[in-house]
């Protein structure tokens, strides 16, 4: 390979990386945006908390279901084609949601968004594996997760500003069009592998590697029959369920109804979730590799901190000082969202390398199942509560506390996966 070709590949692979990373910003924006506009949506669609919870959670059902097909489509149809087509689906869904005048249509639009953006993460990792060597892969994945934090940040204060200017409906229409533009950029710029541009593939340059393969159904059966795998699944369900229920939906209405904050103030506090996600991932990795040199203690410590955060919300539902609210939501970003980096590492390390993809795909169902269940259940608890808004959200936080306790108990049953060699590297 000539120096000119090497430089051309280097420039092109980073162009691909940043296009796909901006796509991941949109994935997280769509995921968490209901939190700051939930009250406006409830008013315009004439829905109560239960239906609003179901509306927000409609994103998670197709997202969870499509995690395994995402890998199959990326392999058979190609990741570039998959991302482009499904981002067009997400565009249609966001526009339908913005223009909806009934809860049924809004739920349909939100589900289309979840279906569309579900097809970014797995195909993106496949593209990265073709354009970058193995040594760069984990670092690139970490940056990609940090870009999700940027997406969370844009779904807070910037969305408040946008919705104040044009309304929540036109905000979703605009974001839908931005999703379409991003999908077009993927089609124009991204290629599945260097040979699609006439360049030598990274795998070919590095040398062939014999990799044992396992049929999908066999791999699924082996993963699901491993008893030590299930505590990790339960942990994912409840720790991420707390995050999506509070950070992805009910945190915004809580701040506005109980503390009487205006949308801008609430958006500033919710943006601390994104700060926690951006800086929490490298922090959690540092704890795991340098301090504890293990996965399980980090998962247990984070889960225990989430128990403390939700307990504070229960005990001091309407009396926390504003500066403490900032810390509470920062903690949620670090300890109930960024911590999943360690959870996925543990899932991958629980099985041989040729089954790591199947294990990660299976465990990735559970965070979104947690959001799909706990968002509407939390809304039902709020709606069925009598008395003041503070009393209603107090009961909702009791549900979050119970979920956090279950996550902590599950973390104590997770099998340690970090070997001494991995820990010291």
Domains and CATH numbers, the chain: 9-192 (1.20.1250.20), 225-425 (1.20.1250.20)
- Using alpha carbons, select from 265, 260, 346 the residue that is nearest to residue 298: 346
Would you state the pLDDT for residue 421?
Answer: 38
H-assigned helices in 46-156: 49-57, 60-65, 67-76, 79-99, 103-117, 121-131, 134-154
Query: pLDDT averaged over the chain?
Result: 88
Would you state the pLDDT for residue 139?
Answer: 66
Quote the CA–CA distance of 209 and 128 in Å, as a whole number: 17
**Stretch (H or E) spanning 169:** helix 157-189
Tokens of 123: 């195909």
Rg over CA atoms, the chain: 21
Would you state the pLDDT for residue 212?
Answer: 56
Quote the CA–CA distance of 384 and 380 in Å, as a whole number: 6
179 has a pLDDT exceeding 90 = yes
Would you state the pLDDT for residue 338?
Answer: 87
Q: Which residue has the higher pLDDT, 117 or 229?
A: 117
pLDDT tens-digit readout, 8-18: 888 999 999 99
Would you state the pLDDT for residue 132?
Answer: 84
Residue 327: Cβ-neighbour burial (10 angstroms; 0-12, 13-18, 19+): middle
Whether 402 and 223 have beta carbons less than 8 Å apart is answered as no
Would you state the pLDDT for residue 258?
Answer: 96
The alpha carbon of residue 320 and the mean position of all alpha carbons in its chain are separated, in whole angstroms, by 28
Quote the CA–CA distance of 248 and 276 in Å, as a whole number: 14
Span 380-393, average pLDDT: 93
424 has a pLDDT exceeding 50 = no
Would you state the pLDDT for residue 69?
Answer: 80
Q: Which residue has the higher pLDDT, 6 or 395?
A: 395
423 has a pLDDT exceeding 50 = no
The model carries a pTM of 0.82
Whether 266 and 164 have beta carbons less than 8 Å apart is answered as no
Cβ-proximal residues to 316 (8 Å cutoff; 6+ apart), any chain: none
Would you state the pLDDT for residue 346?
Answer: 85
Report percent pLDDT > 90 for the chain.
Answer: 59
56 has a pLDDT exceeding 80 = yes
Quick check: helix, strand or coil at residue 316? coil
| Per-residue CA distances from 311 to 260, 335, 400 (Å) | 21, 14, 9
Q: How many CB atoms lie within 10 A of CB 193?
A: 19
pLDDT tens-digit readout, 187-244: 999 999 899 998 988 754 444 444 455 666 777 788 788 888 899 999 999 999 999 9
The alpha carbon of residue 149 and the mean position of all alpha carbons in its chain are separated, in whole angstroms, by 9
Q: Which residue has the higher pLDDT, 253 or 153?
A: 253
Least confident of 25-39, 215-229, 302-316, 350-364: 350-364
Residue 398: Cβ-neighbour burial (10 angstroms; 0-12, 13-18, 19+): middle
């Amino acid at each position: 390979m000539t120096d000119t070709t090497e430089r051309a590949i280097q420039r092109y692979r980073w162009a691909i990386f940043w296009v796909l990373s901006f796509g991941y910003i949109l994935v997280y924006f769509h995921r968490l945006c209901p939190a700051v506009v939930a009250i406006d949506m409830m008013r315009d669609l004439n829905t109560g908390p239960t239906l609003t919870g179901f509306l927000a959670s409609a994103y998670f059902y197709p997202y969870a279901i499509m995690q395994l097909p995402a890998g199959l489509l990326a392999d058979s149809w190609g990741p570039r084609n998959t991302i482009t087509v499904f981002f067009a689906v997400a565009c249609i869904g966001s526009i339908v949601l913005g223009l909806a005048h009934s809860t049924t249509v809004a739920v349909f639009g939100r589900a289309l968004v979840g279906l569309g953006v579900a097809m970014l993460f797995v195909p993106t990792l496949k593209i990265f594996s073709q354009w970058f060597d193995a040594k760069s892969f984990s670092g690139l994945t970490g940056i990609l997760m940090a870009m999700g934090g940027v997406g969370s940040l844009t779904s807070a204060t910037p969305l408040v500003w946008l919705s104040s200017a044009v309304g929540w409906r036109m905000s979703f229409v605009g974001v839908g069009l931005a999703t379409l533009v991003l999908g077009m950029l993927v089609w124009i710029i991204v290629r599945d592998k260097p040979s699609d541009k006439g360049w030598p593939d990274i795998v070919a340059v590095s040398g062939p590697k014999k990799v044992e393969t396992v049929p999908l159904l066999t791999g699924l059966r082996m993963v699901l029959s491993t008893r030590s795998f299930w505590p990790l699944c339960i942990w994912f369900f409840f720790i991420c369920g707390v995050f999506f229920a509070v950070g992805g939906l009910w945190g915004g209405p809580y701040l506005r109804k109980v503390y009487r904050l205006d949308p801008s103030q609430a958006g500033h506090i919710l943006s601390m979730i994104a700060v926690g996600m951006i800086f929490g991932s490298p922090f959690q990795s540092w704890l795991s590799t340098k301090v504890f040199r293990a996965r399980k203690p980090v998962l247990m410590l984070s889960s225990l901190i989430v128990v403390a955060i939700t307990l504070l919300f229960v005990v001091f539902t309407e009396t926390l000082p504003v500066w403490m609210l900032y810390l509470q939501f920062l903690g949620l970003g670090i300890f109930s969202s960024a911590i999943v980096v360690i959870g996925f590492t543990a899932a991958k390390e629980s099985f041989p390398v040729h089954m790591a993809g199947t294990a990660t795909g299976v465990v990735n169902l559970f965070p979104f199942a947690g959001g799909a269940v706990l968002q509407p259940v939390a809304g039902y608890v709020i709606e069925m509560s009598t008395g003041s808004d503070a009393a209603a959200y107090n009961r909702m936080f009791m549900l979050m506390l119970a979920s956090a306790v279950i996550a902590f108990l599950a973390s104590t049953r997770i099998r340690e996966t970090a070997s001494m060699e991995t820990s010291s590297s």
